[in-house]
C-alpha cells in the first residue's frame, strides 16, 4: 500500500472521530504495546517471509468487475485501496504426503473494524501449519473503505475463492473450518447466519465454525467500546443505523434460518477479556441453544482479548488453546507441545505489554 493511500485512509478515519482524548489514549497504548513486543517478533517474521507461505494471493473481483461500493465508502480514490488478498500457510514441509489432503482453516481476524490485517494471527497460523493444517489468512477492507456489509462481502468472496482454488494446494474442501476473532468473529458469524438464509445454490459450505472473543450482540457493544476509545459516531458509521440487522445475536433471535445449513459451531472466550467480556459469548450460546442449535463452547481461565494469538504464542504458553483448536480443525486428539511458539526467554516483555495493551 502506497504512503499516500495510508495517509488517505487515516484522514478518512479521523474524520469520524470527535474531539476527545479516549481514542488518543487507545492509539498511544496500542503503539506502546507493539513496540514492547517488537523484540519478540523477529523470529516469527523471518518465518513469515521464508518458505512454506504463499503471500498476497488476490481473491478479489476480476478486472473490469469491481465489487459494489458500500454506503460508507467516502470516495472513489480511497475505495481503490486494495485489501482483497490472502496468505496461504502450507502444512509443514510445504506439501502433503502422497495424495493425502490437508484440513483447511480460514482465519479472519479482528481489529475493531478499522485496523484489521492479515498479519495479526501470523504466529498462530505458522503453528497450525506446523501441525498439518493448511491455513488461509484473509485480509479485507476496513472502515472507512467500507462498512460492515462490505467487509462481509470480502470475507465471503474469500471463502468462495478457497472452495474454487484450495485443491491446488492439496486442501480438503470437505474439511474447512472458518475461524473468526473479535471483530472477525462478528463478521464471520454474521456471514454464517446470512448464509443459512440463502437458497442452497447460493450458499458456501464450511464444515465447522470457531468464534474467538466474539462481538455477537452489537446493540449492547457500542457503549462498551466507546469507553475503550472507539467513538460512538465511528461505531455507528461502521455498523449503520439499524444495529439489529448487523448483530448476530438479534439476527439469530429474529430470522428464519435453515439450521441444517449451519456449520458445527464452537465458541471460545477468555475470562479476563476486558474489551468484549465473556458474557457476550455466554448469551450467544444460550440463544443458540434456545433455537435448538448445537454449540460447543469453552471459557479459558485468565485469558485476555489478545492472549490467544499474541502474548501466549510469544511466551510459549498457548498449548491448551492451540491443542483445543487443532482438535476441532483436524478432528483428531492433540495434547502435546505446540510447535512454532515461544520467542522470549522469559516473560518480561510480555508482562510489560499486558500493562499497556488497549484490548
Say how far apart CA 77 and CA 11 lie, in whole Å: 13
Average pLDDT over the chain, rounded to whole?
A: 85
pLDDT of residue 247: 97
Across 331-354, average pLDDT? 76
pLDDT-above-90 percentage for the chain: 57
Q: State the catalytic residue, choosing from 149, 273, 307, 312.
A: 273
DSSP 284-317: HHHHHHHTT--EEEEEETT--SSTTTTHHHHHT-
Chain centroid, CA 188 distance in Å:
8
Sign of CA dihedral 82, 150, 221, 14: positive
Q: Does residue 136 contact residue 86 with C-beta atoms inside 8 Å?
A: yes
242 is catalytic: no
* Angle of CA points 108, 85, 35, to nearest 5°: 65
Q: Give pLDDT, residue 349.
A: 76
DSSP letters along 149-190, please?
Answer: HHHHHHHHHHHHHHHHHGGGGTEEEEEEEEEEETHHHHHHHH
**Per-domain residue ranges of the chain:** 3-356
Residue 273 clears pLDDT 60, i.e. is over it: yes
**What value does the mean pLDDT take over residues 189-214?**
97
Distance CA 337, CA 327 (A): 13
Q: Give me the half-sphere count of Cα atoms (radius 13 Å) on the Cβ side of residue 8.
A: 15
Q: Is 121's pLDDT higher than 90? A: yes
Rounded Cα gap, residues 232 and 227, in angstroms: 9
14 pLDDT higher than 70: no
pLDDT, tens digit, 9 for 90 and up, residues 164-183: 999 999 999 999 999 999 99
H-helix or E-strand spanning residue 86: strand 85-89
In whole angstroms, what is the distance from residue 68 CA to residue 70 CA? 6
Q: What is the pLDDT of residues 73-111, one digit of tens each?
A: 444 444 445 789 999 999 985 444 556 899 999 999 999
Cell digits of residue 307: 492472549
Q: What is the mean pLDDT of residues 280-295?
A: 97
Domain 3-356 has CATH 3.10.129.10: no
Quick one: pLDDT at residue 33? 76
Q: Would residue 305 show up in a list of annotated catalytic residues for this protein?
A: yes
Backbone angles phi, psi at 167, to 5 degrees: -60, -25
Using 50, 70 and 90 to split pLDDT, how confident is the model at 69? very low
pLDDT above 50: residue 19: no
Taking the CA atoms of residue 246, residue 85, residue 178 and residue 112 in that order, the dihedral angle to the nearest 10 degrees is -40
With a pLDDT cut of 70, the percent of the chain lying above it is 83
> Is 80 exceeded by the pLDDT of residue 257?
yes
Grid coordinates of 151: 467487509
- How confident is the model at residue 346, as a pLDDT? 57
**Between these two residues, 261 and 38, which has the higher pLDDT value?**
261
250 pLDDT higher than 80: yes
Any idea which of 62-66, 197-201, 249-253 has the lowest mean pLDDT? 62-66
How large is the angle between the packed helices 22-37 and 348-356, nearest 10 degrees? 170
- Residue 18 reports pLDDT greater than 80: no
CA distance 289 to 279: 15
From the centroid of its chain, how far is CA 71? Answer: 23
- The pLDDT of residue 64 is 47
Place of cell 519478540: 40
Which pLDDT value is given to residue 324? 97
Mean pLDDT across the stretch 140-156? 94
Instruction: Kindly give the residue spans of alpha helices, DSSP state H, lying in 20-115.
Output: 22-37, 42-48, 76-79
pLDDT band of 243, cuts 50, 70, 90: very high
Q: Find the catalytic residue in 213, 246, 305, 312.
A: 305
Residue tagged active-site, from 73, 102, 182, 247? 182
**45: buried, middle or exposed (CB in 10 Å: 19+, 13-18, 0-12)?**
middle
Averaged over 334-356, what is the pLDDT? Answer: 74
Q: Look at residue 224 in the predicted model and tell me its pLDDT.
A: 85
Between 39 and 253, residue with greater pLDDT: 253
Amino acid at each position: 500500500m502506497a504512503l499516500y493511500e495510508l495517509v488517505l485512509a487515516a484522514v478518512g478515519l479521523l474524520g469520524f472521530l470527535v474531539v476527545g482524548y479516549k481514542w488518543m489514549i487507545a492509539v498511544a497504548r496500542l503503539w506502546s504495546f507493539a513496540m514492547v513486543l517488537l523484540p519478540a517478533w523477529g523470529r516469527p517474521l523471518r518465518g513469515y517471509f521464508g518458505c512454506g507461505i504463499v503471500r498476497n494471493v488476490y481473491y478479489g473481483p476480476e478486472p473490469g468487475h469491481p465489487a459494489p461500493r458500500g454506503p460508507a465508502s467516502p470516495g472513489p480514490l480511497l475505495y481503490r485501496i486494495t485489501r482483497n488478498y490472502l496468505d496461504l500457510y502450507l502444512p509443514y514441509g510445504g506439501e502433503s504426503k502422497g495424495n493425502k489432503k490437508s484440513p483447511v482453516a480460514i482465519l479472519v481476524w479482528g481489529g475493531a473494524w478499522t485496523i484489521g490485517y492479515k498479519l495479526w494471527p501470523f504466529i498462530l497460523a505458522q503453528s497450525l501449519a506446523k501441525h498439518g493444517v493448511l491455513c488461509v489468512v484473509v485480509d479485507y477492507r476496513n472502515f472507512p473503505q467500507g462498512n460492515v456489509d462490505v467487509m462481509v462481502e470480502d470475507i465471503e468472496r474469500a471463502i468462495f475463492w478457497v472452495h474454487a482454488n484450495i485443491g491446488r494446494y492439496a486442501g480438503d474442501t470437505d474439511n474447512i473450518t472458518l475461524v473468526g476473532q473479535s471483530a472477525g468473529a462478528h463478521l464471520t458469524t454474521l456471514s454464517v447466519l446470512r448464509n443459512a438464509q440463502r437458497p442452497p445454490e447460493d450458499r458456501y459450505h464450511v464444515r465447522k465454525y470457531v468464534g474467538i472473543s466474539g462481538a455477537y450482540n452489537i446493540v449492547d457493544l457500542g457503549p462498551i467500546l466507546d469507553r475503550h476509545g472507539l467513538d460512538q459516531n465511528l461505531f455507528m458509521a461502521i455498523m449503520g443505523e439499524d444495529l439489529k440487522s448487523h448483530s448476530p445475536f438479534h439476527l439469530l433471535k429474529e430470522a428464519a434460518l435453515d439450521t441444517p445449513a449451519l456449520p458445527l459451531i464452537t465458541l471460545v472466550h477468555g475470562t479476563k477479556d476486558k474489551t468484549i467480556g465473556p458474557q457476550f459469548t455466554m448469551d450467544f450460546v444460550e440463544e443458540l441453544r434456545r433455537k435448538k442449535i448445537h454449540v460447543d463452547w469453552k471459557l479459558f481461565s485468565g485469558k485476555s482479548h489478545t492472549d490467544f494469538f499474541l502474548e501466549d504464542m510469544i511466551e510459549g504458553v498457548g498449548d491448551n488453546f492451540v491443542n483445543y483448536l487443532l482438535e476441532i480443525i483436524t478432528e483428531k486428539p492433540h495434547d502435546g507441545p505446540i510447535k512454532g511458539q515461544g520467542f522470549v526467554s522469559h516473560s518480561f516483555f510480555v508482562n510489560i505489554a499486558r500493562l499497556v495493551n488497549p484490548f
